[in-house]
Chains A and B, each alone.
Chain A
Amino acid sequence: MTVREPHSRLAVLTVTIYWGCLLLGISIPWLATIGVDIVKHDQSLEQALHQLRLHLFAPGYNLFLIAVANALPFVLFAVLTLFHLGLAPAHDQRLAGRRATGICLAALGMIGLSIWVHVMTLWYPDAQGALAYLFLPFWQVLVLSLGYIGGRLAGGWFFR
Chain B
Amino acid sequence: MTRRQIWFNLAGLGLVIALMGLVYWLNTGARAVPGLIEDLRSDDAQAQALAALHLGHIGEDAKPAVPVLVAMATASPTSYAATTAAGALPTIDLSAARQVMAAWLPKLHDANPQTRRDAISMLGTLGPAAKPAASALVLLLSDEDTVVRERAARALGAIGLPIDVVMRGLIQALRDPEWTVRQAAVTQFSFSGFSSHESLAVLRELTKDSNRTVAQLARSSVASAEHPIQASVYSMMLKQGTNRTYTLHQLAKLGPRAAETVSGIAAILTAEQPLERYLAACALEEIGQAAAAATPALQRNLNDPDPIVREAAADALQSIRGKGSDS
Q: Which residues of A contact B (CB under 8 A)?
A: 10-11, 14-15, 18-19, 22, 26, 54-61, 64, 68, 75, 78-79, 82-83, 86-87
Contacts and interface: CB of A to CB of B under 8 A. Distances in A.
A59 B57 contact: yes
Interface in B118-170: none
B13 A64 contact: no
Contacts, number: 52
B9 A18 contact: yes
A75 B13 contact: yes
B249 interface: no
A86 B53 contact: no
A55 B10 contact: no
A78 B46 CA distance: 37
Interface residues of B, number: 23
B5 interface: yes
A44 to B, nearest CB: 15
Contacts of A11: 1, 5
A79 B20 CA distance: 18
A78 B23 CA distance: 22
B28 A82 contact: no
Given A57-B27, A58-B54, A64-B27, A83 B13 contact: no
Interface in B32-53: 32, 39, 46-47, 50, 53
Contacts of A14: 1
A11 to B, nearest CB: 5
A68 B50 contact: no
Contacts of A61: 50
B10 A79 contact: yes
B6 interface: yes
Rank and list the top 8 A-B pairs by shortest CB-CB distance, nearest first. Answer: A86-B1, A59-B57, A58-B50, A57-B27, A11-B1, A86-B6, A54-B50, A82-B6
Contacts of A87: 1, 3, 6
B9 A57 contact: no
Contacts of B10: 79, 82
Contact of A55 (B13, B16, B39, B50): B50
B24 A64 contact: yes
A24 B4 CA distance: 25
